[in-house]
Amino acid sequence: MKTQPVKLKNSLILLLTAAIWGVAFVAQSVGMDYVGGFTFNMVRCIIGAIVLLPVIWFLDKGKKPVSRTPEEKAAGRKTLLIGGISCGICLCLASNFQQFGIKYTSVGKAGFITACYIVIVPILGLFLKKKCSPFIWAAVVMALVGLYLLCINDGFSIGKGDILVMICAVLFSFHILVIDYFSPKVDGVKLSCLQFLTAGILSGIPALLLEHPQISSICAAWQPILYAGVMSCGVAYTLQIIGQKDMNPTVASLILSLESCISVLAGWIILGQRLSTKEILGCVIMFGAIILAQLPQKEK
């Protein structure tokens, strides 16, 4: 009898996670008015790593101690370090392409184009000898149609921002595959904390060399940076872990993919960004592709 209320609670938690991520596109867009893209990602990722430290402490406190040999502990730490750095490199590349892409396109379009990773991941899985269902191929066709309506203008050209966000979607697909490989082997929250720290340090190198960040500029952008760092990185990731527990992965993915729709609403309500009828149709088709890509296929 308790299963249904638990599932409803988990669904609401995941919906809140999607809402936080959707609004984060607005924070990223506003943040670029004050600081450079590399600086924004450097600070937000380091804040995200710091926010997860008390979460790690709290979760470790509640865990029962597991007896392991020194060799097993050393191997576990090595895997966590390699996984965190690998995920951090992918996250750094993807988030910076996204950050600069948002500067030249609308928040809503960026949200939907980024969500393409849900369709791209299964295709990349083909190279890892993972089969694609007919739903995936249908979703690919729908996504291409949706992207055409969303990105191609009357002159049959595509905006610079749209191209950057498309590259970001591909990089996020690699990021997901790397997480898929390492997450069963190590603690998920520790992996996330380490990836945020890595991404923050790597983003800091071009930030210091090219953008010369100033404390005054960072302080001026404190609201979008704090939101992106604390809420999007720290809080939303923790909520995702809690919400996905005992939840059907397909249903969880469907709820989380609503971030693309929320980004459109957030861009419209907060920034006053509006999409044309053609772009809205593209969003609808792309959202249909996202849902189709996550439908389970019956085994023969």
Identify which has the larger pLDDT, 13 or 203: 203
The reported pTM is 0.82
pLDDT tens digit sequence for 232-267: 888 887 788 777 766 666 567 667 777 878 888 888
pLDDT at 184: 82
Q: Give 177 or 200, the one with higher predicted confidence.
A: 200
CA 60, CA 50: separation in Å to the nearest integer?
16
What would the mean pLDDT of 151-176 be, rounded to a whole number? 81
The 10s digit of each residue's pLDDT in 96-112 is 999 999 888 888 788 87
* Tally of CB atoms within 10 A around 241: 16
Three-state SS at 69: coil
Q: What is the pLDDT of residue 250?
A: 59
Write the pLDDT tens digit of every residue in 101-150. Answer: 988 888 878 887 887 877 787 778 777 776 767 777 787 788 778 877 77
Render 217-262 in DSSP notation, one character per residue: HHHHTHHHHHIIIIIIIIIHHHHHHHHHTTS-HHHHHHHHTTHHHH
